[in-house]
């Protein structure tokens, strides 16, 4: 079994056959799958959204948001990473891009994987982020929980985290990333549904 380090993860991300969503009529967004290190082991940065936000307040999330005019997904993800949690990375830190996820609220969300290594402190936006967590990849590489709902033919995906659940789109993106990074498996996200409360 290969060690779970930057070289292994970078190689698996580089080999991943990404599927893009050609939906130019939708709003374009990007999120950062930011890999840090704690005690020599890779961790993923996951945030808890601030309680005062208009949409999806208090939920688990990845740093990210809508792209600015003329901005690509890599530039947008790195900008949001800096704005939300105070981590400033250059394009050389980017390992690759995963499948686009089309949200029920009308966004094409592009996940950008980047390697930050050890981070001493997170200094982000109090208005957007309530808390920042570094979760070991081994804790995130778990079997998701699927739920059938009458509103959709696709199953709702949830990932267990800290006594609760992460919902799609974050759960779908994190699940895909962990299958690739930890196992070298190809996993798709298009068939994973969001809970109805996240459709707005």
At 113-152, the pLDDT tens digits run: 999 999 999 987 777 788 899 999 999 999 999 999 989 8
CATH number, position 67: 3.90.79.10
Cα–Cα distance, 196 to 69 (Å, whole number): 30
CA 38 to chain centre: 19
Tell me whether residue 167 is in a domain.
Answer: yes
Whole-number pLDDT of residue 57: 55
Of 107, 21, 114, the C-alpha closest to 66 is: 107
Estimate the share of the chain in helix, then strand, then coil, as percent rounded to the nearest 5: 25, 30, 45
Tell me whether residue 116 is in a domain.
Answer: yes
Mean pLDDT of 146-169: 91
Percentage, residues of the chain above pLDDT 70: 94
Q: Read off the pLDDT of residues 98-108 as tens digits, 9 standing for 90 and up.
A: 999 999 999 99
Tell me whether residue 41 is in a domain.
Answer: yes
Tell me whether residue 103 is in a domain.
Answer: yes
Structure tokens at 67: 């792209």
Q: Tell me the pLDDT of the chain averaged across its residues.
A: 91
Q: Read off the pLDDT of residues 166-188 as tens digits, 9 standing for 90 and up.
A: 999 999 999 999 999 999 999 99
Whole-number pLDDT of residue 182: 95
Cα–Cα distance, 100 to 111 (Å, whole number): 7
Whole-number pLDDT of residue 198: 75
User: Does the pLDDT of residue 50 top 90, yes or no?
Assistant: no
Give the residues across from 64 on adjacent strands. 31
Tell me whether residue 1 is in a domain.
Answer: no
pTM, 2 dp: 0.93
Cα–Cα distance, 136 to 107 (Å, whole number): 28
Mean pLDDT of 151-166: 90
Mean pLDDT of 23-32: 96
**132 phi, psi to nearest 5 deg:** -120, 135
Tell me whether residue 176 is in a domain.
Answer: yes
Tell me whether residue 40 is in a domain.
Answer: yes
The structural domain count of the chain equals 1
User: 55 is in which domain, residue-wise?
Assistant: 6-198
Tell me whether residue 181 is in a domain.
Answer: yes
């Amino acid at each position: 079994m290969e060690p779970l380090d930057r070289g292994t993860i970078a190689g698996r991300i580089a080999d991943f056959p990404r599927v893009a969503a050609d939906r130019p009529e939708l709003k374009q967004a990007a999120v950062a799958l930011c890999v840090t290190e704690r005690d020599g082991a890779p961790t993923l940065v996951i945030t808890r959204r601030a309680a005062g936000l208009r949409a999806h307040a208090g939920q688990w999330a990845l740093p990210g948001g809508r792209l600015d005019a003329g901005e690509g997904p890599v530039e947008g993800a790195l900008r949001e990473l800096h704005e939300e949690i105070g981590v400033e990375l250059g394009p050389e830190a980017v390992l690759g891009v995963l499948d686009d996820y089309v949200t029920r609220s009308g966004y094409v969300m592009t996940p950008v994987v980047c390697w930050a290594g050890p981070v001493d402190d997170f200094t982000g936006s109090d208005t957007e982020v309530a808390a920042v967590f570094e979760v070991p990849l081994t804790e995130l590489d778990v079997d998701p929980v699927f739920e059938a709902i009458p509103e959709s033919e696709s199953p709702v995906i949830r990932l267990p985290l800290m006594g609760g659940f992460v919902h799609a789109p974050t759960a779908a993106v994190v699940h895909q990333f962990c299958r690739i990074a930890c196992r070298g498996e190809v996993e798709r996200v298009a068939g994973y549904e969001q809970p109805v409360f996240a459709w707005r």
